[in-house]
Structure 1
C-alpha cells in the first residue's frame, strides 16, 4: 500500500504568516509595537495628570493640540526625508529623542517640579518625532515586504499599533493607581499620588530603552533612489500636485482631515467622560481607552487574514462612518460596560480607516513619491487634529463634553457625503483606479 504524506505548502498559508516569517519585518513590527505602547502610556498618564491638576476640558484638549501641532509643517519635509535618506537612521534618531524627553518628565515629576507647560512641551516633541518616523517606518515596511504583501503587512502594523493603544493606557492607569504607595514608601517626601505618576513614567522610560535595543536588530533594504536631486520646494510641489490630480488620493486626504478634526479628538476626552460621566478612576479609564485598541485589533486581525482585498476605499469610508456613530453613542451612555462595548465597535471602524488609509496612500502613488504621500497624509492629520481638538475643548468648556463631541460627529457624518459623490473611494478598486490614472 502506497503511503500518502500530507504536508502544508506555502500556498496553504494565510498571507499573514508569509509576512511574519520575514525576520526583517518582525523586527520593525516589534519596534512599532513598543513605540506605540510607550506613546499611548505617555499620553494617558500626562492627560490624567493635567485633568487631575486643572479639571479643565480645554487644558486636556491642549495636550492633543500640542501633540499634533508639529505635523502640518514637519510632515511635508519628513516625507521627503524618508524618500532621500537612510530610514533606519531616521527611526533611531527619533527614538533617542523620545527616550530623553521621557526621562526628563520622570525627573520633573520625581522632584515635584512638573508644570503644565512641561507636559505640553513633552507631547510637542513626541508629535515631532512621530511626524519624523511615520513616513520612514511605513515606507520601510514596503521596502521589506514588497507591494504584493503590503495589505497584510500594514494590517499587522495596525495590530502592532493597536496592541500599544490597547495595553499602553491600561498599564499607565494601573501604574498610577497601584504604584503610588510603593514609591512613597521607598522615597520619603513623595506623596502616594505623585508616586503613582513616578511609577508610570518610570515604566515608560523602560519601554523606550527596550525600543532602542530592538532598533539595533532592524534591517531596512536600501532601495535605489533617483540620482536626480530635485530642489526641496519643487519636490514637495510635485507631491501636492500629484495628490490633487489623483481623485483617489485627494479623496483619502479629504476624509483624513474630516476624521482627525471631528472624530478622533474624542480619544483625548475619554478621561473626562470616564472621570466625570462614568465616575471611574485611572485604571478603568485606561481600560476604556484600551477598548478602542481591542476593536482595532479585531478589525486588523480580520483584514490580515483576507486575500486579494481590493475595495480599500469602501472599507475606508465604512470605518469612518462607524467611528462617528460610535462617538455619539459613547458620550451619552450612563453605563460603563456599554461605553466599553461601543468603543470596541468604534475601534473596529478605526482599524478599517487606518489600514486602508495607508494602503491607498502606498498603492495610488508611484514608488518615488510614497514617502511624500505619507508625509501629506500626516500633514492632513496635523491640520485636522489640533483645530478639532481645540474646537471641542472650547465647546466642552462652554456646553459640556458630550454636547461638543455630538455636534462634531454629526458635522463629520454630513461632510463624508461629498467623498461618495466626487471621488472613486466607494466604488473603485484601488489598483485599477491607480493604473487608469497613470495611463
Structure 2
C-alpha cells in the first residue's frame, strides 16, 4: 500500500493545473453555511448525489465488517482464506477503476455512480445467502466492481457539479455524508446481535436498495447524462437554479 501511495505521489508531481484563482473576502461561518445549504436546496442533482453517498455509507460499506464473521461461522474458513476472500472485494474495485479508465465516457458518469451502488447492494444481498466459498468470492468480486464505479465517480461528480469557489465547502459536506458510515456500522452490529450475521447483512442490503429506489424516484437526475461544467462566476444566496450548472439532464 505504501509503495502505491509513493508511486501515486510521483505521478501527481507531473500534473500542472491551469485555473483561475478565486479570492474571497472574509466571511462569517453563518454566511458560509447559508451558501452551502442554499446550494443543496436549489440544485437537485447535487442533493441526489449526496443522498446516494449516504446510502452507500449507511447500508453498503458496513457489511465489510461482517465478511470475516461469515467466512468463519458460515463458510468454515481459517484466517488465511478469510483474508483472501476479503481481498477479492479489493480486486473487484481495482477492475472497476481500470474499466472506467479504459471505457468510461463522460455522459455515463452519473449512471456508473448510481448503478454502481445498485450492483454493490444486490451482490451484498447475494453474498449474505451463500453457503459456499466460490459463489461468495464471485459476489464479492462484483461488490468490489460496483464499489469501484461508485468511488471513482463520487468526488468527480461533486467537483463537476459546483463552481470553483464552492468546491472546498461541498467537499466538506461530502465528508460529512461519508461520516454517516459510523451509524451504519453500529446499525449492522445491532442487527447481527438480534438476527444473526447473514440476516443482518441481508436486511441492510434490502434497506439500502429500498432507499436507492426512493432516491431514484425523487431525483431521476442521478441517472441522467453528464456533460462538462460551464460554471458562472458565483452561485451565492439569491440565485435560483434547479440543477447543477453545465450538466445535461436525462
Q: Given the two structures, how large is their TM-score scaled by the length of structure 1?
A: 0.48
Residue 399 of structure 1 pairs with residue 195 of structure 2: yes
Structure 1 partner of 2:45 = 248
Task: Decide whether the 8 Å contact of 1:256 with 1:381 is kept in 2.
Answer: yes
Task: Decide whether the 8 Å contact of 1:318 with 1:349 is kept in 2.
Answer: yes
Aligned equivalents of 1:27, 1:328: Cα separation in 2: 32
Q: Deviations over 1:250-296 (max 9, x none)?
A: 00111111111111100111111112111222222221221111111
Aligned equivalents of 1:285, 1:387: Cα separation in 2: 25
Task: Decide whether the 8 Å contact of 2:45 with 2:222 is kept in 1.
Answer: yes
| Secondary structure, aligned partner of 1:434 | coil
Task: Report how far residue 232 of structure 1 moved.
Answer: 2.8
Structure 1 partner of 2:157 = 360
Q: Deviations over 1:51-106 (max 9, x none)?
A: xxxxxxxxxxxxxxxxxxxxxxxxxxxxxxxxxxxxxxxxxxxxxxxxxxxxxxxx
Task: Report how far residue 241 of structure 1 moved.
Answer: 2.1
Task: Decide whether the 8 Å contact of 1:262 with 1:388 is kept in 2.
Answer: yes
Task: Report how far residue 345 of structure 1 moved.
Answer: 0.6
Note the residue ranges of structure 1 that are not aligned, 5 or more in a row.
1-25, 33-140, 147-220
Aligned equivalents of 2:110, 2:172: Cα separation in 1: 19
Aligned equivalents of 1:224, 1:291: Cα separation in 2: 43
Task: Report how far residue 430 of structure 1 moved.
Answer: 4.5
Aligned equivalents of 2:46, 2:165: Cα separation in 1: 15
Aligned equivalents of 2:16, 2:128: Cα separation in 1: 40
Task: Decide whether the 8 Å contact of 2:88 with 2:141 is kept in 1.
Answer: yes
Task: Report how far residue 249 of structure 1 moved.
Answer: 0.9
Corresponding residue to 2:114 among 304, 307, 317:
317
Q: Which has the larger radius of gyration?
A: 1
More helix by share: 1
Residue 411 of structure 1 pairs with residue 207 of structure 2: yes
Residue 262 of structure 1 pairs with residue 44 of structure 2: no
Aligned equivalents of 2:145, 2:130: Cα separation in 1: 19
| Secondary structure, aligned partner of 2:35 | helix
Corresponding residue to 1:284 among 70, 75, 81:
81
| Secondary structure, aligned partner of 2:103 | coil
Task: Decide whether the 8 Å contact of 2:106 with 2:226 is kept in 1.
Answer: no
Aligned equivalents of 2:19, 2:224: Cα separation in 1: 36
| Secondary structure, aligned partner of 2:224 | coil
Aligned equivalents of 2:171, 2:61: Cα separation in 1: 19
Aligned equivalents of 1:27, 1:263: Cα separation in 2: 25
Structure 1 partner of 2:182 = 386
Structure 1 partner of 2:97 = 300
Are residues 381 and 27 of structure 1, via their aligned partners in 2, closer, same or farther at CA, if it must alter by over 3 Å? Answer: closer
Are residues 249 and 390 of structure 1, via their aligned partners in 2, closer, same or farther at CA, if it must alter by over 3 Å? Answer: same
Task: Decide whether the 8 Å contact of 1:321 with 1:349 is kept in 2.
Answer: yes
Structure 1 partner of 2:245 = 435
Structure 2 partner of 1:30 = 8
Range 311-320 or range 237-246, more displaced: 237-246
Note the residue ranges of structure 2 that are not aligned, 5 or more in a row.
230-242
Are residues 307 and 298 of structure 1, via their aligned partners in 2, closer, same or farther at CA, if it must alter by over 3 Å? Answer: closer
Task: Decide whether the 8 Å contact of 2:60 with 2:120 is kept in 1.
Answer: yes
Aligned equivalents of 1:307, 1:320: Cα separation in 2: 16
Task: Decide whether the 8 Å contact of 1:240 with 1:376 is kept in 2.
Answer: no
Are residues 284 and 31 of structure 1, via their aligned partners in 2, closer, same or farther at CA, if it must alter by over 3 Å? Answer: farther
- What is the RMSD of the two structures over their aligned residues, measured on CA atoms? 2.6
| Secondary structure, aligned partner of 1:311 | helix
Count of residue correspondences: 228
